[in-house]
């Protein structure tokens, strides 16, 4: 059956890295006899320049009707003076809302080839392979807020944190399902000793766990989890947490790998899911052909895994990236003893290993 992939390059290096990912996806489609078709749409600053909006309606409609969205990056200095409601970053926020992207998945895996780049000691990161499942459209980021009000004679501001049972159940089930395909361990992270929402979170996750007797569950306070990620990250399999805590912990965990430029992500939606590298648009190197494409290529692997259910194809891409890194390195991770690679060279090396 034919599958439609919507490609949204965005700004900066977005066009280069999404093009690289499509090269690899086309190669894997031949290898595994997949029928993948691609449609291209604008978003971000590029769309603003063309249409006066960072997220055209046709882009949203196409994304909703797709089997998966491959996203590059948005933003750049030339749009710094655009009014806030039209800034390039509004494109990704708009897509999250339109597609119902309720969960963000951040895999963190440290290959032997890149252990030396981690800020942690090599023996601490050897074997790290974890997945952070972050609730993405609830919590304090989406609650009511007040920028300024007078209260008892002084100015204050406030943000409302809230979660409903269905919101927590949905993200918990996703985490437990992911754990079943991995090592069957879930760490649910909250601040239940202080926050009422966290106490509801913990109760709800515990109840969901009863329907997954084959998956072990532990509860951690967010401060302890942050410490454990630095002390012994290999203990984690799947980390499940809310929007605010997940935002912080996923960035901490990404640093463990040593190169944020190679980290993929998936945002799971009620319509279609979106896949993108976690780095930015890097306008300073845009058009130079030197960007590291691996984060986007691995995001393509996640698209195969979570949207198309093609696990073997996803693993083949991941293995090819690992193999290519034993021989080639882009400028951001290059050192003596490896062949220097630009975007195209690295892409072709990965494709060749397939």
Kindly list the catalytic residues. Answer: 141, 191, 223, 247, 251
- CA 190, 192, 195, 197 torsion: positive or negative? positive
Q: Which residues contact 258 (CB under 8 A, 6 or more apart)?
A: 110, 114, 115, 116, 117, 118, 119
Strands 238-241 and 185-190: parallel
* Measured distance CA(144)–CA(150) in Å, rounded: 17
Q: Which residues contact 310 (CB under 8 A, 6 or more apart)?
A: 32, 34, 304
Q: What is the CA radius of gyration of the chain?
A: 20
Task: Compute φ and ψ for 330, nearest 5 degrees.
Answer: -80, 170
What sections of the chain are H helices per DSSP? 14-32, 45-51, 57-64, 90-99, 122-125, 165-180, 196-209, 222-231, 243-256, 294-306, 311-325, 343-353
Q: What's the burial of 162, exposed, middle or buried (CB within 10 Å: 0-12/13-18/19+)? A: middle
* Measured distance CA(261)–CA(312) in Å, rounded: 24
CB 283 within 8 Å of CB 289: no
* Measured distance CA(14)–CA(281) in Å, rounded: 6
**Three-state secondary-structure class, residue 39:** strand
CB 353 within 8 Å of CB 325: no
* Measured distance CA(21)–CA(26) in Å, rounded: 9
């Amino acid at each position: 059956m034919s599958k439609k992939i919507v490609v949204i390059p965005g700004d900066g290096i977005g066009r280069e890295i999404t093009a690289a990912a499509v090269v690899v996806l086309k190669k894997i489609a031949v290898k595994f006899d997949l029928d993948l078709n691609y449609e291209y749409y604008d978003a971000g600053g590029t769309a603003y320049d063309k249409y006066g909006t960072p997220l055209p309606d046709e882009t949203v409609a196409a994304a909703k009707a797709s089997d998966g969205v491959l996203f590059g990056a948005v933003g750049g200095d030339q749009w710094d003076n655009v009014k806030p409601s039209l800034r390039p970053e509004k494109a990704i926020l708009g897509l999250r809302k339109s597609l119902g992207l309720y969960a963000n998945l951040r895999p963190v895996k440290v290959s032997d080839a890149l252990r030396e780049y981690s800020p942690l000691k090599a023996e601490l990161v050897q074997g790290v392979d974890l997945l952070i499942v972050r609730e993405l459209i609830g919590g304090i980021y989406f609650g009511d807020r007040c920028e300024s009000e007078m209260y008892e004679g002084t100015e204050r501001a406030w943000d409302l944190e809230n979660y409903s049972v269905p919101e927590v159940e949905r993200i918990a089930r996703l985490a437990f399902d992911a754990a079943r395909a991995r090592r069957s361990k879930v760490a649910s992270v909250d601040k239940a000793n202080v926050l009422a929402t966290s106490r509801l979170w913990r109760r709800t996750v515990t109840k969901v766990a009863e329907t997954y007797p084959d998956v072990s569950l532990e509860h951690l306070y967010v401060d302890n989890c942050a410490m454990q990620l630095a002390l012994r990250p290999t203990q984690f399999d799947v980390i499940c947490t809310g929007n605010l805590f997940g935002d912080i912990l996923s960035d901490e965990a990404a640093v463990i790998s040593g190169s944020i430029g190679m980290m993929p992500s998936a945002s799971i939606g009620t319509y279609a899911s979106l896949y993108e590298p976690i780095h930015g648009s890097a306008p300073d190197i845009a058009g130079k052909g030197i960007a590291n494409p691996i984060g986007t290529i691995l995001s393509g692997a996640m698209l195969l895994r979570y949207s198309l259910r093609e696990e073997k194809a996803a693993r083949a891409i991941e293995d090819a990236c690992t193999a290519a890194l034993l021989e080639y390195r882009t400028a951001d991770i290059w050192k003596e003893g490896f062949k220097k690679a630009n975007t195209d060279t690295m892409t072709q090396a990965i494709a060749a290993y397939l």
